[in-house]
Amino acid sequence: MESLRDIRQNIKAIKSTQQIMQTMKMISNARIRKAQDAMTAARPFATKMLEMVSDLTPEVLALPQPEDGRERWASRLFINHSADPNKIGLLVITADKGLTGSFNAVILRAAMRFIKEHEGQEIFVFAIGKKGRDFLSRLRLNNLHIVYESVGIFPKVSYAHAELLGEAVLKVFLEEQLASVTLIYNDFKSLASQHLVEQPILPFSPHAAHEKVIDREFSFEPGLLEIFKLMVPRLVKANMYRVLLESQAANLAATTSAMDAASKNAGEIADALGLKLNKVRQAGITNEILDIVNGAEALTN
């Protein structure tokens, strides 16, 4: 049986851990409101950029475009006939730290499933977050190439991080002739839930290329194609920024929920140990009383 001293030390250690968990919960709660506001502010711009690019796509694809050696620039981003079917991209966004419940595990399981489904292809990985970077690095697969990584950016994501990521994704997509780039991350739904998202982000949806070209009453200077080439990278970066903010908010929400549950569990364990402490102490008192009574009876006899 454990001694009273051992039980008291266990209770002290558990309560100390509980205080750390409560502190982490308070920090996440303080940060999540700011993260939600930034995420909400970024959504309209990314959505409007997508609408503008989709609106102009039929006209751009109908224009005579300069050849780059293989295929027209706009067609590569929307149709990409010249892509190598054996090369694909994978963008994985995880947290930098643990203590987030199943937040990272859900993303990494989806990434592993994706890798197994495409084991016959070369996969160019963009790893955001230390947990995802470390996990994918340890796999040491011949067909897996980590071409871009960014760690330590959460919970202070800025547009500069999105710019670097967007530039890297576009550069590798075009230079390596990737057939597609797939994004896997946790989307923010509410403080209590996050939703796993696995979706292709490149090439863009080709539905707009089949729409009818609209006659407009205005012209573009210096030219529609030049403006389009400026808009598409901004669209990619705006979308990357939105996704990073969504993941950041989901990460903070997951940390808050995990720390709240862990703090409650620690409290329950401390209460159970408190009961055990009382029982051991009462048993000790009872044994002492019995020793005294037995000793008195022995003297009487």
Domain CATH number, residue 126: 3.40.1380.10
Domain count, the chain: 2
Q: Residue 41: its pLDDT value, please?
A: 84
Report if residue 268 sits inside a domain.
Answer: yes
Q: Residue 65: its pLDDT value, please?
A: 60
Say yes or no: 251 and 265 in one domain. Answer: no
Say yes or no: 240 and 276 in one domain. Answer: no
Say yes or no: 205 and 285 in one domain. Answer: no
Report if residue 31 sits inside a domain.
Answer: no
Domain hosting residue 104, numbered range = 37-256
User: How far is CA 9 from its chain centroid?
Assistant: 38
Report if residue 26 sits inside a domain.
Answer: no
Q: Which of 240, 256, 272 is the last residue of a domain?
A: 256
Q: Which two tokens stand for residue 49?
A: 């950029």
pTM over 0.95: no
Say yes or no: 175 and 270 in one domain. Answer: no
Question: Cα-flanking dihedrals φ and ψ of residue 200, to 5°?
Answer: -75, 140
Q: Residue 121: its pLDDT value, please?
A: 93
Q: Residue 210: its pLDDT value, please?
A: 43
Say yes or no: 11 and 95 in one domain. Answer: no
Residue 108, amino acid = L
Say yes or no: 51 and 125 in one domain. Answer: yes
Report if residue 30 sits inside a domain.
Answer: no
Cα–Cα distance for residue pair 14/256, rounded to 1 Å: 19
Report if residue 27 sits inside a domain.
Answer: no
Q: Residue 136: its pLDDT value, please?
A: 94
Report if residue 91 sits inside a domain.
Answer: yes
Say yes or no: 185 and 275 in one domain. Answer: no
pLDDT by 10-residue block (mean), the chain, 301 residues? 80 86 82 82 83 78 60 69 86 90 92 94 95 93 93 90 94 90 90 86 64 58 78 89 92 86 85 85 82 76 64
Q: Which two tokens stand for residue 279?
A: 């029982």
Q: Residue 21: its pLDDT value, please?
A: 82
Say yes or no: 78 and 10 in one domain. Answer: no
What burial letters (b/e) apply to 211-224, b meaning 16+ CB within 10 Å? eeeeeeeeeeeeeb
- Supply the CATH number for residue 16's domain: 1.10.287.80
Say yes or no: 131 and 110 in one domain. Answer: yes
Say yes or no: 67 and 147 in one domain. Answer: yes
Say yes or no: 69 and 170 in one domain. Answer: yes
Say yes or no: 104 and 172 in one domain. Answer: yes
